[in-house]
Structure 1
Amino acid sequence: MTTKNVEELAKRQVARDEARITGDRRTSQSMRQVFVEFWKHPSPYILSTYLLAAVVGRVLAGPGEWWELLLPVGLIAIMPVVEWVIHVFILHWKPRRIAGIKIDPLLSRKHRAHHRDPRAIPLVFIPWQVELTLGPLGLLVAWAVTPTWTAAFSLLVANLVLLSAYEWTHYLLHSDYRPKSRWYRSVWRNHRLHHYKSEHYWFTVTTAATADRLFGTYPDPATVPTSPTARNLHGLDS
């Protein structure tokens, strides 16, 4: 089977699965419409406030070193792996008891709710309770791993930009905006497969399966059976 045939087969399978699960027809939205909707949720306001504060901090910190320009490059390089690790080990965390204490983080609980209803836009975003900690925590980590305040703020700015890009991309993937570019079609398809085909594969969100290829979670969709727990992670609701 050719790559083109596999892509077409996967597209039809995902469309059938999504129609069966959602029970409604998707409509098409313009970029302007989805952008306006994006700003009706807390996430962009929290992240943009932190980003503005980080930029002001970077300016006030004064001139930096040339190598600080490498910080965003490094973050971009490792982002697919970080995304994959967080998705697999935190978002898909199965609740368990350790030393008699139930470990079930808010991020994991919200992500299970997101899988139960992928069409619920409020569940697409990082929980606001978690996002409120990201500015102070991000600054603390940046300060701990860099030698100067200028580098710390440079790292924080880059990190918040990438986090904002993640939030926007994930939101866009779950909106009714139809993909146009080749890159976006690829990312859109992979994320559809993750939600409507099998939750065990296709974990990357902002890249076209880079880390999935690296870690062996990018199979031929035609060989993957539809998972009965794609909307019920770990079968906890059964």
Structure 2
Amino acid sequence: MSAPRADDRRMPGAEETARRNPMRPPDTLPRDRSSAVRAFCAHTSPQLIAGLVLAFGLWRLALGGWSWIDAAIALAILAYFPVNEWLIHVFMLHWKPRKLFGRTIDFYLPKTHRRHHADPWNLHWVFVPRHVHLWVAPTIAVLLALLWPWKAWVLTAVTTYLLLGLHYEWVHFLAHIPWCPQNRVLGPYYQRRVREHRYHHFRNENYWWGVSMGLGDRLFGTAPKVDETARSGSTVDLGIRP
């Protein structure tokens, strides 16, 4: 059975899904830790990312020669990642179709994200689309080819980035199911990330762009107090109407 496509007209439209999507996820989605982990691991994107983390991580371990530079690279990527999330969400996922010489310029990635906003409790649209993964291996291969003398550091960077990407997928998944970790250490963090992402979906899509991290929103002033933020009225169709 083929996967649904974001531009498939047979899929439910924004107005239809708006009528049946309350802020609370439906009970048919995972409601406990074990079912949440099983559902997460069953999806292609986490499987692919985890496989790459394992492969490149083992390669880096095999090379050895660890130094303070590896730690600096990992910390730099960790510091940049919330900005990376913010930029991708604002400028790529929320891209609006533009007219150029009478032709509409649009891309499949933002189309999938619009479908995600229109159908937020459909887990198919929660994860990084498969076509994006087609670019991952070639991009890493090019980086390694260009920087082969420093391949150990490249592998440190790639493994760190992919590990953070896997964590992004996990947090985004949590925001779209009823269950969320409740332990004293990580529970409050994940609960806040889930809460703010739902504000983005159900209050105002122009704020709370961060998913796994909120620092980007704090840096760019897009994490207002929710009770002082008006409902946009376009969280479902992102203001793009036929």
TM band (smaller chain): 0.7 to 0.9
Residue identity opposite 2:134 in structure 1: L
Q: How far has the Cα of 1:203 moved from its partner?
A: 0.4
Indicate the structure with greater helix content.
1
Distance in 2 between residues matched to 1:220 and 1:85, nearest whole Å: 21
- 1:137-189 CA-to-partner distances (Å, cap 9, x unmatched) read 13434665786011111111111111111111111111121452211221111
Distance in 2 between residues matched to 1:69 and 1:132, nearest whole Å: 29
Output the TM-score relative to the length of structure 1. Answer: 0.82
CA contact 1:114–1:123 (8 Å) conserved in 2: yes
Q: Quick one: structure 1 residues 98 and 62, their matched pair in 2 at CA, closer, same or farther if it must change by over 3 Å?
A: farther
Q: Which runs of 4+ in 1 moved over 4 A?
A: 142-147
Equivalent residue of 1:195, what SS?
helix
Which region of structure 1 is more displaced relative to structure 2, 194-203 or 175-184? 175-184
CA contact 2:171–2:193 (8 Å) conserved in 1: no
CA contact 1:61–1:149 (8 Å) conserved in 2: no
Residue 215 (structure 1) aligns with:
220
- 1:97-128 CA-to-partner distances (Å, cap 9, x unmatched) read 34565432222110000000110001000101
Residue identity opposite 1:198 in structure 2: N
**What runs of 5+ residues in structure 2 fail to find an aligned partner?**
1-17
CA RMSD of aligned residues (A): 2.5
Residue 26 (structure 2) aligns with:
26
Alignment of 1:143-222 (within 5 A): 144=146, 148-180=150-182, 181-207=187-213, 209-222=214-227
Residue identity opposite 1:76 in structure 2: L
Which region of structure 1 is more displaced relative to structure 2, 220-229 or 189-198? 220-229
- Number of aligned residue pairs: 219
Residue 6 (structure 1) aligns with:
none
Equivalent residue of 2:231, what SS?
coil
Q: 2:55 aligns with which of 53, 58, 62?
A: 53
Q: How far has the Cα of 1:211 moved from its partner?
A: 1.4
Residue 44 (structure 1) aligns with:
46
Output the TM-score relative to the length of structure 2. Answer: 0.81
Distance in 1 between residues matched to 2:168 and 2:162, nearest whole Å: 10
Residue identity opposite 1:217 in structure 2: T
Q: Quick one: structure 1 residues 143 and 71, their matched pair in 2 at CA, closer, same or farther if it must change by over 3 Å?
A: farther
**What runs of 5+ residues in structure 1 fail to find an aligned partner?**
1-18
Distance in 2 between residues matched to 1:224 and 1:67, nearest whole Å: 43
Percent identical = 33
Q: Quick one: structure 1 residues 236 and 147, their matched pair in 2 at CA, closer, same or farther if it must change by over 3 Å?
A: farther
Q: How far has the Cα of 1:224 moved from its partner?
A: 1.8
Residue identity opposite 2:193 in structure 1: V
Q: Quick one: structure 1 residues 29 and 133, their matched pair in 2 at CA, closer, same or farther if it must change by over 3 Å?
A: same
Residue 224 (structure 1) aligns with:
229
Q: How far has the Cα of 1:76 moved from its partner?
A: 0.8
Residue 14 (structure 1) aligns with:
none
Distance in 2 between residues matched to 1:226 and 1:129, nearest whole Å: 33
Matched, 1:123 2:125: yes
Residue identity opposite 1:86 in structure 2: I
Distance in 2 between residues matched to 1:25 and 1:44, nearest whole Å: 21
Q: How far has the Cα of 1:229 moved from its partner?
A: 0.9
CA contact 2:175–2:195 (8 Å) conserved in 1: no
Distance in 2 between residues matched to 1:92 and 1:78, nearest whole Å: 20
Residue 87 (structure 1) aligns with:
89
